[in-house]
Chains A and B, each alone.
Chain A
Amino acid sequence: GQQLNQSPQSMFIQEGEDVSMNCTSSSIFNTWLWYKQDPGEGPVLLIALYKAGELTSNGRLTAQFGITRKDSFLNISASIPSDVGIYFCAGQLGSNYQLIWGAGTKLIIKP
């Protein structure tokens, strides 16, 4: 089946640091999405990208839809404690409404 490779698997950072994570695929996606999931909760959409090359920001978060349409990255600037959680990328192929999900990047902020 389709796969998204998301990296890194986990990150230990200091508060205030910038964070970067990415997803790659062998398939071309029409849409890239970035979600955050807190423990015991459902995923919450952070950023949606619909065009190759698109760069979109949401507060301290910035995400880009790769030119090849096979990758995307998410940056978080000046991390704060509430940023901890698991970040997922998800992609949509063509007009298919199904989302293909990465395995997640667990963000942990060192005290």
Chain B
Amino acid sequence: NAGVMQNPRHLVRRRGQEARLRCSPMKGHSHVYWYRQLPEEGLKFMVYLQKENIIDESGMPKERFSAEFPKEGPSILRIQQVVRGDSAAYFCASSPPRARGTEAFFGQGTRLTVV
């Protein structure tokens, strides 16, 4: 049973470009959480999704950021018109239905560098 798969592991974008980060949850998991981590800091919650639904996006910037978790395929975190401040590690976690968020498993992250 593969773990949470994120790709790419590393992504370099120029300012103004778009970044698309993908997350495939563990098999049987229908809940996905995205977190952002800046260097030397803990993770910060961004968004919680279930299949085809955004449950809570209170941690996500209102502009340029969006997330989806379609019926088929991976969850996507999309950052439009990236700026230097978007450089960070983005982690996805997944959990099975009816699980608490504490039972989520994390992927290896995507390290975004904006140049």
CB contact under 8 A between A31 and B106, given known A88-B42, A101-B42, A101-B43: no
CB atoms of A99 and B41 under 8 A apart? no
CB contact under 8 A between A98 and B108, given known A42-B91, A103-B40, A103-B42: no
Give Cα distance in the complex from A48 to B104, angstroms. Answer: 11
Chain A residues contacting B65 (CB-CB under 8 Å) are none
CB atoms of A92 and B106 under 8 A apart? no
In the complex, whether B44 has a CB less than 8 A from a CB of chain A is: yes
Nearest to B9 among chain A residues (CB) is A40
CB atoms of A41 and B42 under 8 A apart? no
Interface residues on chain B, number (Cβ under 8 Å): 23
- Counting chain A residues whose Cβ lies within 8 A of the other chain, the interface size class is 20 to 34
In the complex, whether A33 has a CB less than 8 A from a CB of chain B is: yes
CB atoms of B41 and A103 under 8 A apart? yes
Chain B residues contacting A6 (CB-CB under 8 Å) are 42
Please tell me which one of the listed residues A40, A42, A97, A104 contacts residue B106 in the complex, with CB atoms under 8 A apart.
A42
Give Cα distance in the complex from A101 to B41, angstroms. Answer: 9
In the complex, whether B70 has a CB less than 8 A from a CB of chain A is: no
Please tell me which one of the listed residues B58, B101, B107 contacts residue A42 in the complex, with CB atoms under 8 A apart.
B107
Nearest to A88 among chain B residues (CB) is B42
Chain B residues contacting A4 (CB-CB under 8 Å) are 42
Give the A-binding residues of B (Cβ under 8 A): 4, 33, 40-45, 48, 56, 58-59, 91, 93, 100-102, 105-109, 111
Give the B-binding residues of A (Cβ under 8 A): 4, 6, 31, 33, 40-45, 48, 88, 90, 92, 96-104
Contacts A/B (CB < 8 Å), 18 sampled: A4-B42, A31-B100, A31-B102, A40-B108, A40-B109, A42-B4, A42-B106, A44-B106, A90-B42, A92-B101, A97-B48, A97-B56, A97-B101, A97-B102, A98-B48, A99-B43, A101-B42, A103-B41
